[in-house]
């Protein structure tokens, strides 16, 4: 059996398709360099129509929209431990334990009286679906979503965030 003979029409066709693919690749490269050189703001209407780009993360990052849903944060000093956030959570990632204080613990920033002390306020960000339901039901608006979206950790257990800072000795003092 003899090896196939390559004729000139096949070689010309290969060179033509190679030229077309290189031309297309150079067009995409030129378009992708455009927005990086111009540094468009995210509010620009042509921001997402400038072609594909690869960011040099973490040195370069896309701007975060102001209404995005990202990492949860609880200002525990404003929390009245009402448990509404845990009840509204569809994936049960919020765990709250409270004890009743013998006397009022003070007031929140919006004037509500604190009568419960949070012995435990944990949010498991590995379970969280970032729906924002917990932030909408919070009467004191102490539970908010921050613009931080990078949760890279080496240990899975680090996704559980503890907001209550009450020591075990304080638990018995409040009972």
Q: What is the pLDDT along the chain (175 residues), one digit of tens a residue?
A: 555 565 567 888 999 999 999 999 888 777 766 655 566 677 777 766 655 556 677 777 777 777 777 888 899 888 898 999 999 999 999 999 998 888 888 888 888 888 888 899 999 998 999 898 999 999 999 999 888 877 788 888 888 888 887 655 555 554 4
pTM score above 0.75:
no
**Measured distance CA(61)–CA(147) in Å, rounded:** 12
- Per-residue pLDDT of 138-161, as tens digits, reads 999 999 988 887 778 888 888 888
Task: Write down the pLDDT at residue 156.
Answer: 83
> Could you write out the DSSP letters of every residue in 79-148?
-----HHHHH-TT--EEEEEEE-SS--EE-TTSPEE-EEEEEEEEETTT-----HHHHH-SS--EEE-S-
Q: Are 101 and 173 in contact (CB under 8 A)?
A: no
Cβ burial of 134 (10 Å; 0-12, 13-18, 19+) is buried
Task: Write down the pLDDT at residue 65.
Answer: 78
Beta bridge mates, 143:
74
**Measured distance CA(15)–CA(21) in Å, rounded:** 10
**Distance of CA 156 to CAs 74, 96, 125, 174, Å?**
21, 21, 10, 33
Decide: helix, strand or coil at residue 172: helix
Task: Write down the pLDDT at residue 106.
Answer: 85
For 23-27, the CB contacts below 8 A with 24+ separation are: none
**Measured distance CA(33)–CA(37) in Å, rounded:** 6
Task: Write down the pLDDT at residue 94.
Answer: 94
């Amino acid at each position: 059996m003899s090896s196939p003979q390559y004729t000139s029409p096949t070689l010309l066709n290969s060179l033509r398709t190679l030229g077309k693919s290189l031309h297309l690749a150079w067009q995409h490269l030129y378009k992708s360099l455009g927005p990086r050189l111009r540094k468009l703001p995210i509010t620009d209407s042509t921001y997402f129509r400038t072609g594909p780009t690869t960011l040099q993360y973490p040195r370069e990052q896309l701007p975060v929209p102001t209404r995005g849903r990202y990492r949860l944060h609880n200002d525990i000093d404003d929390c009245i431990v009402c448990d509404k956030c845990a009840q509204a959570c569809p994936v049960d990632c919020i765990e709250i334990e409270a004890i009743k204080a013998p006397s009022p613990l003070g007031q929140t920033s919006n004037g509500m009286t604190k009568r419960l002390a949070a012995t435990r306020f944990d949010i498991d960000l590995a379970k969280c679906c970032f729906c924002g339901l917990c932030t909408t039901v919070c009467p004191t608006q102490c539970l908010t979503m921050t613009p931080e979206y990078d949760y890279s950790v080496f240990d899975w257990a680090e996704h559980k965030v503890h907001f209550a800072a009450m020591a075990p000795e304080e638990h018995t003092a409040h009972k």
